[in-house]
């Protein structure tokens, strides 16, 4: 699964790479540099989407809140379970089946974190790894989004979930906690971005993209500090440690 990721580039770098504009200029001012964005804290991450045929970047909250007429506290609790959306069941799950139809996005990340389980019994350890792209600047994580109206503040909240799929060989070796359910985020090649975020793309085309699997040769990883979960949001979490 993908619950922790990094967005360490500047806003203009994302704009240049994706040939996109900022949906709201104020996002440039409030955008935070995430060295360790923990999804359970519902941070706002930069998301790429299609707006009337033009690519736009905007900040959205991680943890999808469907467009339901329910209290905010109930929806916030639901969002914690909606950080990821399984590609295999995305058209069936109530929270996701409307978003996959036309509200699809890309979450550009510099890297993401996963844990590898090694050893047995008292010798068992959980080792955090940072996974990063080899041949391009960002991972294009496939996502879906939704708009929820908060009745308490009378404001709209736009939120997203990252699509996941069965792990390839590279990721299965790292994300090995559940032997029968090894997962990874759906990482799209650059040539699939436009079709994925296009609201008019056919269901058949989207189903084909949901079957895409990033080649092992495009991924690299290294060990990072053991206290990743407790670490502050600073660049020290990106530094490799001895294996």
- Domain ranges across the chain: 4-34+42-108+139-217
**Cα(32)–Cα(52) distance, rounded to whole angstroms?**
27
Task: State the chain's mean pLDDT as an integer.
Answer: 93
For residues 197-201, give the mean pLDDT: 98
Compute the distance between CA of residue 50 and CA of residue 222 in angstroms, rounded to an integer: 34
pLDDT score at 28: 77
Convert the pLDDT of each residue in 60-103 to its tens digit: 999 999 999 999 999 999 999 999 999 999 999 999 999 999 99
Listing DSSP states for 84-141 in one string gives: EEETTTTTTSTTTTTHHHH-EEEEEESEEEEEEEES-GGG-EEEEEEEEESSSS-EEE
Per-residue model confidence as pLDDT tens digits over 12-60: 999 999 999 998 878 877 778 899 999 999 999 999 999 999 999 999 9
**What average pLDDT score do residues 177-195 get?**
89
Please say whether the beta carbons of 188 and 209 come within 8 A: yes
pLDDT for 182 beyond 90: no
Give 105's strand partners: 143
List own/partner pairs for 131-136 with CB under 8 A and 24 or more apart.
131/171, 131/174, 131/219, 131/220, 131/221, 132/219, 132/220, 132/221, 133/218, 133/219, 133/220, 134/217, 134/218, 134/219, 134/220, 135/218, 136/190, 136/218
CATH architecture of the region 4-34+42-108+139-217: Alpha-Beta Complex (3.90)
Is 122 a residue whose pLDDT tops 80?
no
């Amino acid at each position: 699964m993908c619950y922790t990721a990094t967005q360490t580039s500047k806003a203009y770098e994302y704009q240049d790479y994706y040939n996109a504009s900022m949906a709201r200029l104020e996002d440039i001012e409030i955008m935070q540099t995430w060295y360790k964005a923990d999804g359970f804290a519902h941070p706002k991450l930069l998301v790429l989407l299609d707006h009337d045929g033009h690519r736009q970047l905007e900040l959205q909250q991680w943890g999808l809140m469907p467009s339901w007429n329910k209290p905010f506290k109930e929806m916030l609790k639901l969002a914690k379970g909606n950080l990821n959306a399984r590609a295999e069941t995305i058209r069936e799950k109530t929270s996701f089946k409307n978003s996959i139809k036309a509200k699809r996005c890309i979450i550009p990340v510099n890297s993401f974190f996963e844990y590898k389980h090694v050893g047995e019994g008292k010798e068992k350890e959980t080792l955090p790894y940072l996974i990063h792209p080899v041949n391009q600047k960002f991972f294009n994580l496939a996502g879906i989004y939704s708009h929820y109206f908060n009745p308490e503040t009378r404001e709209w909240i736009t939120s997203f979930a990252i699509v996941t799929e069965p792990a390839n060989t590279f990721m299965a070796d790292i994300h090995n906690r559940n032997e029968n359910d090894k997962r990874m985020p759906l990482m799209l090649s650059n040539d699939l971005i436009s079709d994925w975020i296009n609201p008019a793309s056919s269901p058949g085309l989207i189903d084909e993209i949901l079957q895409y699997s990033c080649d092992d040769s495009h991924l690299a990883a290294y060990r990072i500090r053991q206290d990743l979960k407790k670490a502050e949001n600073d660049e020290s979490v990106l530094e490799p440690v001895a294996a």
